[in-house]
Structure 1
Amino acid sequence: MNIQINTDNHIDGGQKFSDYVSGVVSSAFHRFSNQLTHVDVHFSDQNSSNKAGSNDKRCMIEVRITGRKSTAVTSDASSIDEALIGATEKMKHSIESTLGRANY
């Protein structure tokens, strides 16, 4: 499973951040790793020009499941970490649903 992390220019996406995000994503999707070929994680600050505001951090996760079209989810939160956790939870449910339907 290849994991790619992207940030807009308002979020510091250094190596430490990338390592942290990769660890969270790898752990969250570990049981699906044989079925996932690629995971793209995109972070953005929706309210970057106005620093005040809640739920202005967005995490979008797109996964490619072997033999299927890519699937994407987004989560908005007041912090990057909350947005990441929200998006990974949504994506786990989406993958479970997709793979569960394939088994019927």
Structure 2
Amino acid sequence: MIKEKAKKKWDLTRKMLEITDDEYNGVTQEDANLRFIKTKLQIAVYYLRMLDEHNCEYEVPWNKEQFKWLLRKPAGDTKKQKAKDWCHQCCLIRDKACASWSYEEATA
């Protein structure tokens, strides 16, 4: 998948994961948890987008309902751990696929 298509595929998800000003400036533990969750998912989506750019086949470690559940309040330790696990799974998928990617130097 070319870079633009891969970016478009994940645009809606990336918008959902944007940290709002209220979340960023929040001082409660729940605000901190939500920032952590969104940050981990942003990283996971970045890895999946890289896979799309290289036309790799993979299985997303979450489904739509699980994703929505993770972003709903209250955001506790269970949700933080789940976001951390998904990010790690996406990293492993990317690392496994990365071995077969060819990195050609761009010539100017």
Band of TM-score, shorter chain: 0.3 to 0.5
TM-score, normalised relative to structure 2: 0.39
- Structure 1 or 2: larger helix share? 2
Larger radius of gyration: 2
- Structure 1 or 2: larger strand share? 1
Greater relative CO (CA pairs within 8 A, separation 6+): 2
TM-score, normalised relative to structure 1: 0.40
